[in-house]
């Protein structure tokens, strides 16, 4: 039995003393997650392929008190040697990590299936994409999530000696696109994110023996370099309202906010009774488009 005082939000969702790692943490959803963790007291190591972007993100968004944002890398998550080097760098500074967020991803090729004529459909799709592009999309969005998580398992398990069983966890950033049947012109990306969703479930079952929880956030439309193709001087992106209205299937009629992503990240990090779940933060899109 706990006191009412113990149920204050700042106690329930405090990240004070936590050590976290976020891949692709310099922009977009990765940066939103990083800010949420650091704002609530965590030490957050962010990594990615572009050190300049990581350093700029840390400079622009480190909290004035409490947590820290620390660039580390560069790291290409599709290369085992980079992952091994990343773990080595962090191991020299930390004895454990409490949270790993696998966020790095790419959108891959796009081909709209706009024609009802099979010949036109074939020509449009087969000439717009390649096996190599599909492989790159799967390598980054699926295979890299697996190898990144596996690389950090010892540091994640080491957290138990400090914070108790099932205290460490992994959050995989998948996508609502991996749950819907609408291809959105992104057959490769949506197929890969479907695999990412299932991979999260597989890892949650297999890694529970090691005492490590694995959950996934399936975002809808959030501003990021993937969705807007650019970032500003503070590594932030802006999604025009007109782009959401064009979609015609977003009940909230706007993009998701930094605050809404932050709430999802803190919930999955702190609630030890949640394991193997896919949390869609999508503004209701999956109520409008066909899903699984």
Tell me the torsion sign for CA atoms 104, 267, 215, 166.
Answer: positive
Annotation says 270 is catalytic: no
**pLDDT tens profile 89-119:** 999 999 999 999 999 999 888 888 888 899 9
Task: Tell me how far CA of residue 164 lies from CA of 157, 167, 212, 291, in angstroms.
Answer: 10, 6, 11, 38
pLDDT of 251 > 90? The answer is: yes
| Active-site entry in 107, 151, 167, 174 | 174
pLDDT of 280 > 80? The answer is: yes
pLDDT at position 167 is: 79
Confidence of residue 138 (pLDDT cuts 50, 70, 90): very high
Q: From CA 98, how far away is CA 277, in angstroms rounded? A: 18
| Active-site entry in 189, 221, 224, 270 | 189
Mean pLDDT of 164-192: 92
**pLDDT tens profile 227-248:** 777 788 888 888 889 999 998 9
| Active-site entry in 43, 193, 236, 270 | 193
Strands 278-281 and 43-47: unpaired
What percentage of the chain exceeds 90 in pLDDT?
Answer: 79
pLDDT at position 55 is: 96
pLDDT at position 198 is: 98
Annotation says 174 is catalytic: yes
Q: Mapping DSSP to helix (H, G, I), strand (E, B) and coil, where does residue 210 land? A: helix
Q: Which domains does the chain have, with CATH numbers?
A: 4-287 (3.40.50.720)
Q: What is the mean pLDDT of the chain?
A: 94
Task: Please list, in sequence order, all residues whose beta carbon lies within 8 angstroms of the beta carbon of residue 16, skipping any fewer than 6 positions away.
Answer: 40, 41, 42, 66, 67
Annotation says 189 is catalytic: yes
pLDDT of 164 > 90? The answer is: no
Confidence of residue 284 (pLDDT cuts 50, 70, 90): very high
pLDDT of 75 > 90? The answer is: yes
Q: From CA 278, how far away is CA 9, in angstroms rounded? A: 23
**pLDDT tens profile 11-56:** 999 999 999 999 999 999 999 999 999 999 999 999 999 999 999 9
């Amino acid at each position: 039995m706990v006191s009412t005082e113990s149920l204050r939000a700042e106690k329930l969702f405090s990240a004070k003393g936590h050590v976290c790692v976020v891949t692709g943490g310099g922009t977009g959803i990765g940066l939103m997650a990083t800010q949420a963790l650091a704002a609530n007291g965590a030490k957050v190591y962010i990594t990615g392929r572009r050190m300049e972007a990581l350093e700029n993100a840390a400079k622009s968004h480190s909290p004035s008190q409490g947590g820290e944002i620390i660039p580390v890398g560069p790291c290409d998550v599709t290369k085992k040697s980079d992952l091994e080097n990343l773990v080595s760098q962090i191991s020299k500074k930390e004895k454990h990590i409490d949270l790993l967020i696998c966020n790095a991803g790419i959108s891959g090729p796009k081909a709209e299936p706009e024609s009802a004529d099979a010949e036109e459909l074939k020509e449009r799709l087969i000439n717009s994409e390649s096996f190599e592009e599909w492989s790159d999309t799967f390598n980054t969005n699926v295979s890299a999530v697996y190898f990144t998580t596996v690389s950090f398992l010892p540091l994640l398990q080491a957290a138990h000696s400090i914070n108790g069983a099932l205290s460490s966890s992994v959050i995989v950033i998948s996508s609502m696109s991996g749950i819907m049947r609408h291809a959105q012109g992104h057959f490769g990306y949506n197929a890969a994110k479907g695999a990412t969703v299932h991979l999260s479930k597989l890892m949650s079952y297999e890694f529970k023996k090691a005492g490590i929880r694995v959950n996934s956030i399936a975002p809808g439309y959030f501003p990021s370099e993937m969705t807007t193709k650019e970032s500003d001087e503070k590594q932030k992106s802006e999604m025009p309202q007109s782009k959401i209205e064009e979609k015609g299937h977003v009940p909230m009629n706007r993009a998701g906010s930094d605050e809404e992503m932050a709430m999802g990240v803190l919930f999955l990090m702190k609630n030890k009774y949640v394991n193997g779940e896919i949390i869609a933060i999508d503004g209701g899109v999956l109520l409008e488009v066909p899903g699984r």
